[in-house]
């Protein structure tokens, strides 16, 4: 279905009845000067191969292995390299919170929205940049450390890629609202499915034409405030 057909045939979607806003993390709430994500930074650090993430993405996309295996390959390599929490945090700190992000999240909460994260990031990134935890629900990958601070394990999220839709549907069900009352904000190809299914979606600084086409609105900005403008206050029921 072309972009034009979608615009003609789909019912108009807008932010008027949104109650839950779910965010992607890498590229949406945090960014990197060269647009690297945490997986690329950690693969580069612990394998010395800056292209490994891209090759594994292509293999994943070609169906050579599933998402959980992809996570296991990456984290397994970091464990084999003896990765520690401190080393991982050094790489995490090459990222930065998108300017205005914490303030915008607080403002949206103040306007009555329930906030969530549905992301392929790693929990340590969210904990570093959003220690106030303004989210009611968080769906991310997790990494585990032993008592000496060495990386020792992981839990792969089932909610990245097309699985992001399941997380949003789960949030809607738990809150007792329709999926149409859930918005999503993301930036890349792993956000396309959820952007299509959400009641309203924003492509924030999009990195791929697919997410631009799937989202209701495209926002390009150095700061997150431009996103908040679409959510003036939760609908009264």
Residues in touch with Mg ion (CB under 5 A):
24, 26-27, 187-188
- Who's near 204: CB < 8 A, 6+ residues apart? 27, 28, 185, 186, 187, 219, 221, 224, 227
Shorter beta-carbon distance to Mg ion: residue 27 or 163: 27
Interstrand relation of 217-219 and 200-204 (parallel, antiparallel or unpaired): parallel
Instruction: Tell the smallest beta-carbon distance from residue 119 to Mg ion (Å).
Output: 7
Shorter beta-carbon distance to Mg ion: residue 24 or 123: 24
| Tokens standing for residue 229 | 């403008």
CA 8 – CA 61 distance, rounded (Å)? 30
Interstrand relation of 151-155 and 137-145 (parallel, antiparallel or unpaired): antiparallel
Shorter beta-carbon distance to Mg ion: residue 19 or 163: 163
Instruction: Tell the smallest beta-carbon distance from residue 191 to Mg ion (Å).
Output: 6
Instruction: Tell the smallest beta-carbon distance from residue 117 to Mg ion (Å).
Output: 11
Shorter beta-carbon distance to Mg ion: residue 91 or 187: 187
- Who's near 47: CB < 8 A, 6+ residues apart? 77, 81
DSSP state letter for 160: S
DSSP state letter for 208: S
DSSP state letter for 33: T
Four-residue CA torsion sign, 94, 146, 78, 135: negative
Interstrand relation of 96-97 and 30-31 (parallel, antiparallel or unpaired): antiparallel
Residue nearest to Mg ion (CB): 27
Instruction: Tell the smallest beta-carbon distance from residue 186 to Mg ion (Å).
Output: 6
Instruction: Tell the smallest beta-carbon distance from residue 122 to Mg ion (Å).
Output: 13
Shorter beta-carbon distance to Mg ion: residue 96 or 174: 96
Instruction: Tell the smallest beta-carbon distance from residue 24 to Mg ion (Å).
Output: 4
Shorter beta-carbon distance to Mg ion: residue 19 or 160: 160
């Amino acid at each position: 279905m072309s972009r034009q057909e979608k615009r003609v045939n789909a019912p108009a979607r807008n932010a008027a009845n949104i109650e839950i806003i779910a965010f992607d993390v890498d590229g949406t709430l945090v960014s990197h000067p060269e647009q690297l994500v945490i997986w690329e930074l950690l693969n580069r650090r612990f394998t010395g191969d800056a292209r490994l993430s891209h090759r594994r993405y292509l293999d994943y996309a070609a169906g050579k292995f599933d998402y959980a295996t992809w996570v296991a390959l990456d984290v397994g390599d970091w464990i084999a390299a003896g990765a520690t929490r401190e080393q991982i945090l050094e790489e995490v700190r090459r990222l930065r919170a998108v300017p205005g992000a914490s303030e915008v999240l607080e403002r949206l909460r103040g306007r009555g929205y329930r906030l969530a994260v549905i992301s392929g990031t790693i929990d340590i990134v969210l904990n570093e940049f959003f220690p106030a935890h303004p989210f009611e629900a968080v769906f991310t990958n997790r990494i585990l450390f032993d008592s000496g601070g060495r990386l020792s394990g992981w839990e792969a999220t089932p909610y990245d890629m097309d699985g992001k839709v399941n997380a949003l549907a789960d949030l809607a069900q738990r809150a007792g609202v329709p999926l149409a009352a859930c918005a999503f904000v993301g930036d890349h190809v792993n956000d396309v499915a959820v952007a299509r299914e959400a009641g309203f979606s924003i492509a924030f600084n999009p990195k791929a034409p697919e997410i631009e086409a799937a989202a209701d609105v495209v926002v390009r900005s150095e700061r997150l405030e431009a996103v908040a403008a679409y959510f003036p206050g939760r609908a009264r029921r």
